């Protein structure tokens, strides 16, 4: 493992606490628009002290949707890497790896050498992160098939790897989950053979939701105790649900959502039940699907209990590319007029999304990804006047069983150039969906665990002994999520480069490295 020693007077190592302490002055520019149309910029600065616990704990991951394509692929990837299982496909031998994972397979620039050449190190060498091979994985699923059967059903992995992992995967059996039929497509009912919310007569119980919360909490407690874990993280990778209606007095406050659960209110979704159980249990909850799991009452509950949450919806293929390409066009002074996105896929996610209510959830998360990019350029998109000030954004998803997990995405970006000219960019992107999404799960879990080991002090208002954890919404996770949550009153950032830069710079200041810039004075002066 690469080790980095930073010679910086603002960084110190506390051997007794096995922690790293760093000081950083955060500088920003606060801008106001005067009545004469001119901008006034005021510089601000604030001193912080950060502390990082360098001890990597034993971490357990509970997946909601363990038996789905993503869940079975994740466990297969971990076991293949941990056991060093190579396999053969039509191109020859394949060695296990974590390609597609930022934390495991990307690098960060830490400076230049004496000759001015950039120096890069592995992302996970900057600070101690949990190794995915060490994750202890379990979870819930409405279908009871063990993961050997689930992997065969999903048809994501090559047959040779499935065969070599069959015995290992057969030992993974999902815990019973909750099933509220109104929230996912009716075509999923045949899969629901592993649920605990059944009455003695075999009917589905959707009213005893507080009992469901308590059962999920018990499952978390039992898992942590049985595996002797230091920390547990819960991540939703199950079916996309329909959007929940936002109802005053039902799901708008921390108090109301608890009372509504106890009353068995029909508008509380399974993902919200899992989120509330996780928050009350004090474990992080990440939502990898597009539904509005984090209704205002859940966010407020997380704030009240200082429990970490992150979401929504994995940002893997088409949407990740969109956040890059739209940023490129707008930054280049080119004006996108329309973005038309078409998808077809044949896995169970596509089957569930063939239902209109579930598709609407996905449409919302995909559509919002360019909002802040458009808002950044009032030359192209003025807020008033006759000029078109928005992008026509069309999204279509179709279920085509024959293509299986190989999702086909086709996009057209139609833009306006100078003097009435136009530019059309058409992209066809075929991606093996679960092999793109699974590395995101690894990154979300690795970063969530790491961020839980970071504390800080605002040195202007308290002394260095008054430590605080990060705000419960982990917005540093936004790189991996289509519709990232942010603190109320703050703008959501969707531009991929901005998200990555913010994450990199945070890691750098924790170890005393200067934040990223490309001024390159060495070669210019």
Which of 337, 331, 258 lies closest to 300, judged by CA? 258
DSSP 452: T
| Residue in 23, 224, 315, 362 annotated catalytic | 362
Rounded CA gap, 487 and 470, in Å? 12
Report angle CA 142, 256, 274 to the nearest 5 degrees.
20
CA 225, 228, 234, 238 dihedral sign is negative
209 Cα distance to chain centroid: 26
| Residue in 205, 313, 405, 433 annotated catalytic | 313
DSSP string, 208-237: -HHHHHHHHHHHHHHHHHHTT-SEEEEEE-
Active site residue 146: no
DSSP string, 321-382: HHHHHHHHHHHTT-EEEEEEEEEEE-SHHHHHHTSHHHHHHHHHHHHGGGHHHHHT-TTTS-
Report angle CA 518, 524, 525 to the nearest 5 degrees.
125
Which of 150, 134, 144 lies closest to 194, judged by CA? 144
86 neighbors 95 (Cβ within 8 angstroms): yes
| Residue in 209, 231, 407, 508 annotated catalytic | 407
Report angle CA 309, 124, 11 to the nearest 5 degrees.
90
State the pairing for strand pair 231-236/175-176: unpaired
Active site residue 407: yes
Which of 52, 49, 48, 32 lies closest to 40, judged by CA? 32
Rounded CA gap, 299 and 384, in Å? 34
Q: Is the peptide bond before 281 cis (omega within 30 degrees of 0)?
A: no
State the pairing for strand pair 454-458/406-416: unpaired
Rounded (10°) angle between helices 270-281 and 254-263: 120
Rounded CA gap, 236 and 274, in Å? 8
286 neighbors 236 (Cβ within 8 angstroms): yes
Active site residue 312: no
- Catalytic site positions: 313, 362, 407, 482
């Amino acid at each position: 493992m690469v080790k980095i020693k930073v010679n910086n007077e603002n960084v110190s190592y506390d051997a007794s606490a096995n922690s790293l302490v760093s000081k950083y002055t955060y500088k920003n520019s606060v801008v106001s628009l005067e009545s004469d149309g001119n901008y006034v910029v005021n510089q601000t600065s604030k001193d912080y002290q950060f502390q990082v616990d360098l001890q990597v704990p034993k971490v357990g991951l509970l997946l909601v949707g363990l038996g789905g394509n993503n869940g079975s692929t994740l466990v297969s990837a971990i076991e293949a890497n941990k056991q060093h299982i190579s396999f053969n496909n039509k191109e020859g031998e394949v060695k296990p790896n974590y390609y597609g994972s930022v934390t495991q397979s990307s690098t960060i620039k830490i400076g230049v050498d004496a000759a001015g050449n950039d120096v890069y190190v592995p992302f996970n060498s900057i600070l101690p992160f949990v190794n995915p091979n060490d994750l202890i994985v379990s979870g819930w699923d409405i279908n009871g098939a063990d993961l050997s059967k689930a992997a065969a059903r999903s048809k994501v992995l090559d047959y040779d790897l499935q065969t070599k992992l069959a015995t290992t995967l057969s030992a993974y059996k999902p815990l019973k989950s909750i099933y509220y039929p109104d929230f996912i497509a009716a075509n999923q009912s045949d899969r629901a053979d592993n649920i605990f919310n059944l009455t003695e007569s075999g009917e589905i119980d959707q009213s005893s939701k507080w009992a469901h919360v308590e059962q999920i909490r018990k499952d978390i407690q039992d898992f942590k105790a049985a595996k002797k874990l230091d920390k547990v993280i819960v991540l939703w990778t199950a079916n996309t649900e329909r959007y929940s209606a936002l109802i005053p007095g039902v799901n708008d406050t921390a108090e109301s959502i608890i009372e509504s659960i106890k009353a068995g209110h029909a508008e509380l979704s399974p993902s919200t039940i899992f989120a509330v159980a996780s928050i009350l249990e004090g474990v992080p909850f990440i939502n990898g699907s597009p539904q509005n799991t984090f209704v205002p009452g859940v966010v407020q509950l997380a704030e009240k209990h200082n429990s970490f949450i992150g979401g929504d919806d994995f940002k893997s293929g088409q949407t990740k590319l969109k956040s890059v390409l739209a940023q490129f066009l707008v930054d280049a002074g080119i004006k996108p007029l329309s973005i038309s996105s078409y998808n077809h896929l044949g896995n169970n996610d596509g089957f569930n999304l063939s239902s209109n209510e579930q598709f609407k959830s996905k449409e919302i998360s995909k559509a919002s990804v360019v909002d802040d990019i458009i808002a950044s350029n009032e030359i192209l998109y003025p807020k008033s006047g006759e000029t078109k000030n928005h992008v026509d954004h069309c999204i279509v998803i179709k279920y085509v069983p024959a293509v299986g997990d190989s999702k086909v995405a086709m996009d057209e970006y139609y833009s306006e150039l100078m003097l009435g000219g136009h530019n059309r960019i058409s992209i066809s992107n075929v991606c093996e969906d679960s092999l793109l999404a699974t590395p995101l799960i690894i990154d979300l879990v690795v970063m969530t665990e790491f961020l839980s080991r970071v504390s800080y002090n605002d040195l202007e208002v308290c002394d260095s002994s008054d430590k605080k954890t990060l705000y419960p919404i982990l917005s540093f996770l936004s790189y991996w999520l289509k519709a990232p949550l942010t603190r109320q009153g703050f703008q959501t950032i969707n531009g991929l480069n901005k998200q990555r830069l913010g994450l990199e710079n945070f890691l750098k200041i924790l170890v005393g490295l200067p934040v990223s810039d490309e001024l390159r004075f060495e070669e210019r002066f």
